[in-house]
């Protein structure tokens, strides 16, 4: 499953995590992210327009779009129908994992404990979302979980900002880092797409450094 997700991410180590209030934001947001150098994005299912947003952003062509906050197999199926190329969940749900396998898309379940990580590994997954990363203890928690499970790869998300990037990205178990600071609801409500472009470009620059 790692190879599939890594292929979708195409080497990108920054994953913008987006909660988009309206489909009207989708086109300009996709333009701003790609102008900033982003190659992928996660659209969370936290707004009524989320599926339409995914469909519009997937049709943009410049981004590999995934679905986040997927809680049920039905949500996973609808997200993939809307163009999602990967699925991210805040926790581990066997039904979501099974449906994603049937659909042929990478799935990244959330874990917060060693027990949850063991469940994911036992299911044949080797990439998980460490969530919520910063409230759990940040890079200290990451290192503690990674040490006994060297086969695991992590996508830390939750409370992460620019100042935290180098700490996470320097760990060999981290595939990519997810964050919402590049395109907040405030940015979208204000129409601050130039700010989104700038913050995205800065994040990608930090990831290379």
Q: Which of 116, 129, 189, 202 is catalytic?
A: 129
Q: Look up 42 and say whether it is catalytic.
A: yes
Q: Look up 202 and say whether it is catalytic.
A: no
The Cα 153–Cα 174 span in angstroms is 6
CB 63 within 8 A of CB 40: yes
| Cα maximum dimension of the chain | 46
The Cα 148–Cα 201 span in angstroms is 35
Q: Which of 42, 51, 77, 134 is catalytic?
A: 42
The Cα 41–Cα 107 span in angstroms is 14
The Cα 97–Cα 77 span in angstroms is 11
Token pair 């990831």 in the structure block, residue: 207
DSSP readout, 26-79?
HHHHHHHHHHTT--EEEEES-STTHHHHHHHHHHHSS-EEEEES--SHHHHHHH
Residues 6+ positions from 184 with CB-CB distance below 8 Å: none
Active site amino acids: 42, 129
């Amino acid at each position: 499953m790692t190879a599939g997700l890594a292929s979708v991410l195409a080497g990108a180590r920054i994953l913008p995590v987006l909660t988009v209030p309206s489909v009207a934001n989708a086109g300009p947001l996709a333009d701003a992210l790609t102008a900033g150098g982003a190659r992928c994005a996660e659209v969370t299912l936290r707004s009524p327009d989320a599926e339409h947003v995914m469909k519009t952003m997937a049709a943009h062509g410049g981004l590999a779009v995934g679905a986040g906050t997927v809680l049920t197999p039905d949500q996973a199926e609808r997200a993939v129908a809307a163009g999602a190329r990967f699925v991210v969940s805040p926790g581990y749900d066997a039904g979501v994992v099974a449906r994603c396998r049937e659909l042929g898309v990478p799935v990244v379940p959330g874990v917060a404990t060693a027990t949850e990580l063991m469940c994911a590994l036992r299911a044949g997954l080797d990439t998980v979302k460490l969530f919520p990363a910063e409230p759990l203890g940040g890079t200290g928690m990451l290192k503690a979980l990674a040490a006994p499970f060297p086969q695991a790869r992590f996508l830390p998300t939750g409370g992460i900002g620019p100042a935290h990037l180098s700490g996470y990205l320097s760990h060999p178990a981290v595939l990519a880092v997810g964050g919402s600071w590049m395109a907040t609801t405030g940015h979208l409500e204000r129409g601050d797409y130039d700010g989104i472009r700038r913050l995205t470009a800065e994040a990608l620059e930090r990831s290379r450094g």
